Amino acid sequence: MEPLLTLDPSATDPLVAQIVQGVTQCIQSRRWRPGSRTPSIRAFARNHGVSTSTVVEAYDRLVAAGLLTARRGAGFFVTDNARGEPQRELHLGKAAIDGDWLLRNVYEQGEEGINAGCGWLPESWHDVDAVSKGLRRLALHPKGLIGYGNPKGYEPLRQQLTRQLAELEIEAPPTQILLTHGASQGLDLVARRLTQPGDSVFVDAPGYSNLLSALRLRGLHLVGVPMTPTGPDVGVLEQLLSQHQPKLYFTNTQLHNPTGASYSASKAFQVLRLAERHQFLVVEDNVSADLVPGRSITLAGADQLRRVIYVGSFAKSIAPGLRVGFVVAEQGLLEELVYFKLVSGMSTPGINEQLVHAIFMEGHVRKHLEQLRDRLAKAQERTCRRLENAGFELFFAPGAGMFVWAKPKSDDLDSLLLSQRALENGILLAPGHLFQPDQSPSPWLRFNVVYCDNDRLFRFMEEAFPQAR
């Protein structure tokens, strides 16, 4: 029987990869039709002059890719829906933008779309080389990667965090640090431990949409505290405290999502004073701490964790996909959070935590963050200028971080309508009602400056709403 493929043992690509590529082409060209049986492993190996182990590995990869299926005692067959490429369900232009729409659909946006309203950095803005080096370092020293690990998380990384927190004037030994599955799990653990359905909690208004959705799902009564460019409106906060007795106040202190605002020293002092007087705890969500230029003000640093629970992550400094976050709290409360973490999901992935630590040990994170902050500052300036030229009013110009909060100057424009029309054109916007605690209508939108230097985005705005200019 003639060989099906032409294999070259001296080529750069290994034989396994050549077989996978060749069989994939046979399936894509319909030379091998859906449902047809492939040559047996031994027949393929004999006809192509390769070992059976090589063919086994190639076939296993093709099964994993969904191109072949294995039937016990019968061999391998081309899958009925095999096309040689993954199929991805798209929601663009089909889903109504309701209160939880951003959480459900934002990750579905394809590369061909414009993620102008998303909440993350593109992969090219992260230090991909550092991640690769960290993975190689772990491969050489894989001890402890597959076990459950320490309930509080990988201890060397917690030791690293102790040093980083000290730079923010937060004194926290490793025993007071709990590693979590991203900052989201940390916030959820705090809410589960310290609240019951029906309790009142204060949140920023506007605030982090994912957190608002999570708190609503817990049946909590959300009370919004208006944000200003320098932190919460303390006057309104005092008025609300005369009407409510919150268990917690969830607040995003630096480069606030979605407005880009940061607490001033005065606002930090006043919030802590009110927390002491009215006996509530403050949950300081500071996931963008690494993007803050210069000296950063934190509630946890001023309070030293007496009435503040500090939540952070490595999503901005390392990579969001690793899902490594942390909670820092008073020792007794932290031990209770460890218990909630264990009963809800056991430990967090040690391999991810060790990878983050390995990347820090390479010593390039600080330089990368300096470059990242500089790139973001330039993107902020460009986006603010283009938004104003397009007829938008800015909440204020943050000058740092990812977000700008803006609304059309024209009273005739509706941010929800704008977002729906944008969706039909493959453009993801984030209308303001998604960030309101009560999901009330809002003319504002969140823009991610990294994705907004795009002529197609602003052409759409000019064509769809020429009266805005």
Residues 356 and 248 in one domain: yes
C-alpha distances out from residue 1 to 22, 58, 426, Å: 17, 20, 50
- Give the model confidence (pLDDT) of 208-229 as tens digits: 999 999 999 999 999 999 999 9
Mean pLDDT of all residues belonging to the chain: 88
Same-domain pairing of 279 and 293: yes
Q: How many Å is the Cα radius of gyration of the chain?
A: 26
Identify the domain containing residue 421 by its residue range: 101-125+367-468
Cα–Cα–Cα angle for 116, 119, 121, rounded to 5 degrees: 85
Same domain as 275, residue 313:
yes
Q: Phi and psi dihedrals of 45, rounded to 5?
A: -65, -45
Can you tell me the distance from the alpha carbon of 220 to that of 197, in angstroms, rounded to the nearest whole number?
A: 5
Residues 379 and 448 both lie in one domain: yes
- The answer to whether 220 and 251 are in contact (CB under 8 A) is no
Residues 156 and 304 in one domain: yes
Beta-carbon contacts of residue 123 (< 8 Å; ≥ 6 apart): none
Torsion angle, alpha carbons of 393, 398, 399, 404, to 10: -50
In percent, how much of the chain has pLDDT > 90? 57
Q: pLDDT tens across 10-60, in order? A: 888 889 989 999 999 888 888 888 889 999 999 999 999 999 999 998 998
pLDDT value at 317 more than 90? no
With respect to residue 9, please indicate whether it lies within any of the assigned structural domains. Answer: no
Q: Are 191 and 285 contacting, i.e. CB atoms less than 8 angstroms apart?
A: no
Q: Which DSSP state fits 84? A: S
Residue partners of 375: CB distance under 8 A and separation at least 6: 125
CATH number for the domain harbouring residue 105: 3.90.1150.10
Q: What is the C-alpha separation between 381 and 464, in angstroms, rounded?
A: 24
β-partners of residue 37 are 77
Q: Are residues 345 and 200 in the same domain?
A: yes
198 in the Ramachandran plot: left (φ > 0), alpha (ψ -120 to 50) or beta?
left
- Judgement on whether residues 373 and 335 belong to the same structural domain of the protein: no
Q: Are strands 392-394 and 430-431 parallel, antiparallel or unpaired?
A: unpaired
401 and 451, same domain (yes or no): yes
Q: Look at 96-100, 161-165, 372-376, 455-459 and tell me which has the smallest mean pLDDT.
A: 96-100
User: What is the SS3 assignment for 147?
Assistant: coil
Quick one: pLDDT band at residue 112, thresholds 50, 70, 90? low
Q: Are residues 157 and 284 in the same domain?
A: yes
Task: Give 332-355 pLDDT, tens digit per residue.
Answer: 999 999 999 998 877 788 889 999
Q: Looking at the domain assignment, is residue 93 inside a domain? A: no
The answer to whether residues 441 and 345 belong to one domain is no
Q: Using CA atoms, how far apart are residues 452 and 423, in angstroms rounded to an integer?
A: 15
Question: Are residues 259 and 206 located together in one domain of the fold?
Answer: yes
Tell whether 181 is covered by a domain. yes
**Residue indicated by tokens 């010593």:** 363
Query: To which residue do tokens 């597959």 refer?
Result: 146
